Amino acid sequence: MKFPDSAGILLTVSGLIKDEEIIIQSIDNYHYPFKDFIKNSQTNNLVRNKVDEVTNVPKIYIIAGHKDKISRIKNVWNEKTRQAINRILRQKNILKIIEQEIQKIEYCSLEMMHWLYLYDIIENDHIKYPRGMTYGTEGGDLEVLVFYWTNNPKYDSKEELNHTILFWLERERPFLKGMQCVIYSFILRNMVGRKVLATIPDVYGNWGMLLEGGVFLPLADDFESGMSKINSTHVGKWTVGEIEEIALNPTYGFGVYFDNIELFSEWFYVFLYAMATIDDKELDPMNVRLLYGKFLEYIGKNICPYEVIKQKIIEEEEALEVLVLTLCSIREYLKGEEDTGISKNILLMMRSRNAYLPIVTQFIRKNSNLVVPIPQPSIPLDYNYWKENLYQLASVPTAYEKGVEFEELVQYFIRTIPGIKITGIREKRGRAEVDIYCCNVSFDALLWKLGALILIECKNRKNKVSVSDIRNLVPTMEAKGIHGAMIFSRTGFSPLAMKEIKHQLSGGKVILPISFEELEGITRKLDAYWVVCKKIEHLGNILKNDLDQMYF
């Protein structure tokens, strides 16, 4: 008995506080789509306050989606929970099995949520009493399924639970977009980091903001449901985005009409991004066509309904050619080629839609023989090799050779970070030559703060990195739609350079300064991944209480 596919389902874990106070700290697969979700949901620190009984308060496991799918999930969940408890009663060591299964988790899924739930209710000396209930929406297809536990089968904390769930529902406003559950904060994340380009009215006189990437944000109370790509109803003429959607719309060449083309496009661009990270030699038009056909069926079943149209407007071969050309454009972009359409439509959208990446990656693995990059290091860190090369760098005779050796050392550093893939070295495309380009295929929410395309610069100088070095990065990052970069320096960073990094952070650009001393401090445990994560966390803490950003 298997769980239904997790696509389109919202998975979240919330804390519940008893007595007269309700404090909720909710994590979900849209905010923490990868390791952070699993790590945080396993701890008892989801809610922090001074209540003594906080560790004895149940976590609430929330699953929201279309009522048909929720009905199937409820049946499977309850049956699997019953089987697990029966196994305990037969004195089978299921706790060890649960811990082993949790260690195998790569991405968020219904099965993962159930293992975490079992981990919560089953202990060595006793079993907590499993509970569940369903919340429906009036006149709608959305249902919210809630699982929790109590220590006593005679007691049920429904009253506290209702307060908590109603608070969560009011705050997140879940609704169905097609067959996918969407929440308020997920919609908001799509706007983070986008510049406001203009305020304009649509053809009906309703005002809104034009955001970077061609997003029109209505200035209304229900803006999250009215947000859309800018189109002819806003400006009175065909836009580049509309023409692109027509060219890539599966209706015309493949005879598949989706009810909500914007929702399909969100998943389609993540599919293209995942395909673009696959090695060139593995892709050919036939592979793309077969996999794309299965992808259309998959999205139609789980995300957005479609109808089959017998009469096609263009030949399938021509539509496939456009699809392959777009895929090649994204691939070239990830190597440094400047392309305004790709950078705005793919990279900006991937800041929040990377939550779809694990599901899309899993789909490609199951439905093809393609080797999709997995979130593991390209090479494992060889500590002895690392230390030896750091030591030898000091004895390199010329500045040029030292620069080459330093850059190769940085490449080794990058390749040991899980999910960061080098796509270009010494690429001179467009406005500037960049030392290293990397694309992000990680299953790690923290690393995704660097975005989809990451720029790497290596500074092998006697002087520290200056403020002008940081400022010179900005035009290249803006031209290519990049908002994440790393700068490696053998001599460190000047105070003004560090101040400029903080200033650019306020504008949405995450620039990580990594010194040679920090490279020397790498150990088997405190590796490259650890260094980068600590840098990202540090910059996040700087920005959290910085009021200067209000004047950026």
Domain spans of the chain, in order of start? 10-187, 192-237, 242-367, 383-551
Q: Is the pLDDT of residue 82 over 80?
A: yes
Give the model confidence (pLDDT) of 217-263 as tens digits: 888 766 666 777 787 877 778 877 777 777 788 988 888 999 888 88
- Better pLDDT: 137 or 531: 531
H or E element, residue 231 = none
Q: Does the predicted TM-score (pTM) go above 0.85?
A: yes
**Residues 193, 239, 178: CA angle, nearest 5 degrees:** 70
Mean pLDDT of 276-304: 85
Share of the chain above pLDDT 70, in %: 88
- CA proximity to 18, closest of 174, 208, 191, 157: 157
What pLDDT is recorded for position 20? Answer: 59
Quick one: DSSP state of residue 122?
Answer: B
CATH topology of domain 383-551: Trna Endonuclease; Chain: A, domain 1 (3.40.1350)
Within 8 A by CB and 6+ apart from 274, the residues are 357, 360, 361, 364, 372, 441
Strand partners for 176: 181
What pLDDT is recorded for position 547? Answer: 57
User: Which residue type, as a one-letter code, is found at position 514?
Assistant: I
Question: Of 311-320, 491-500, 519-528, 543-552, which has the strongest mean pLDDT?
Answer: 491-500
Long-range contacts of 197-206 (CB under 8 A, 24+ apart): 200/234, 200/235, 202/233, 202/234, 203/233, 203/234, 203/236, 204/233
- Better pLDDT: 397 or 464: 464
What pLDDT is recorded for position 391? Answer: 85
Give the model confidence (pLDDT) of 175-196 as tens digits: 999 999 999 888 888 777 677 8
pLDDT band at residue 9 using 50, 70 and 90 as cut-offs: very high
